[in-house]
Structure 1
Amino acid sequence: MSRTYIDCRDYPGSACSVKISADSKDELLKAAIEHAVHAHGYDDTPELRSQLAAMFKDEPGSAETRLAA
């Protein structure tokens, strides 16, 4: 099964070291929004959701990544 992640260190200007991963993009987006709102004070807006979703990456070693190699 493929896992997807987002890493706060990839967000411009962030000094946060949190990395979140999940089996589904919906689950990951929920966790990323919760983190952005509670840890960083962002408002939950469609724009923030779009920005975060655009930063999702497949975890190295996931099934999809191995098949692409």
Structure 2
Amino acid sequence: MGRKFVDCRQIPSDVKCTLALVADTEDEVLEAAVLHAVTVHHHQDTPELREQLRGVIKDGSPSV
């Protein structure tokens, strides 16, 4: 099983966030990404947000 990640640097934002989240499963990365999006970027936890975040989850690890 490979790792999954989401990298805030690849998502346009006024915050200029540099956080990357990595986990063994897509669901684990998604839950962490939703929490981050809500607390840092002030998004609402909606099905649309979850769908958008699921779409940017990638296999492997973020580049340095």
TM range (shorter): 0.7 to 0.9
SS, match of residue 48 in structure 2:
helix
Query: What is the deviation of 1:12?
Result: 1.8
Aligned to 1:56: 57
Identical amino acids, percent of aligned pairs:
47
Could you report, residue by residue, the CA deviation over 1:9-30 in whole angstroms, capped at 9, with x for unpaired residues? 1112351000001101111110
Query: Would you identify which runs of 4 or more consecutive aligned residues in structure 1 move more than 6 Å?
Result: none
Moved more, 8-17 or 37-46: 8-17
| Structure 1, unaligned runs of 5 or more | 61-69
| Structure 2, unaligned runs of 5 or more | none
- TM-score norm. by structure 1 comes to 0.80
Size of the aligned set, in residue pairs, is: 60
Aligned to 1:42: 43
| Bigger radius of gyration among the two | 1
Counterpart code for 1:3: R
Could you report, residue by residue, the CA deviation over 1:34-60 in whole angstroms, capped at 9, with x for unpaired residues? 000011110000010000000011115
Aligned to 1:4: 4
Aligned to 1:64: none
Q: RMSD in angstroms over aligned alpha carbons?
A: 1.2
- TM-score norm. by structure 2 comes to 0.86
